[in-house]
Amino acid sequence: MTSPLSAGSAARGVVRLLNTSDGGVLCLAGEVDEAVVAAFLQRYGREPARVDRIDAGSVTSLSPPALDLVLDHLEVAERAGRSVRVLRSPLVERLLATARTAQEPLAGAATRA
């Protein structure tokens, strides 16, 4: 089986969906680049999952597709009337703030956890 990452490259970031006793969690960590997001989408599909939390507290780099992935999950939760707790690294905090100035605020996103 081949990996969506090019031969010889090592993933430095991760995106996973976890099922916990407290509900679903979208976890992002490290350098989340386009290849990492592509691997996530290949594994889980394009439809945002129902999550209760997003853990992006250890993200060191977030590509535009990775930011879109987070925003898509927050938007789906908002449309469903659910609040999603978001643990954010300082980088993710800045990117979400910038994204929010470009669009309407996401009412379903809870404050920094």
Supply the range of the domain harboring residue 71.
13-102
Assess if residue 110 is contained within a domain: no
Per-residue model confidence as pLDDT tens digits over 32-53: 999 999 999 999 999 999 999 9
Amino acid at 65: P
Query: How many CA atoms, within 13 angstroms, populate the side-chain half-sphere of residue 5?
Result: 13
Compute the mean pLDDT over every residue in the chain, rounded to the nearest whole number: 86
In this structure, are residues 15 and 27 in contact, taking their beta carbons and an 8 Å threshold? yes
Give the CATH number for residue 91: 3.30.750.24
Assess if residue 112 is contained within a domain: no
The predicted model scores a pTM of 0.80
pLDDT at 61: 95
- What gap in Å lies between CA 85 and CA 95, rounded to an integer? 16
- What gap in Å lies between CA 1 and CA 92, rounded to an integer? 33
- What gap in Å lies between CA 69 and CA 45, rounded to an integer? 11
pLDDT beyond 60 at 19: yes
In this structure, are residues 105 and 75 in contact, taking their beta carbons and an 8 Å threshold? no
pLDDT beyond 90 at 82: yes
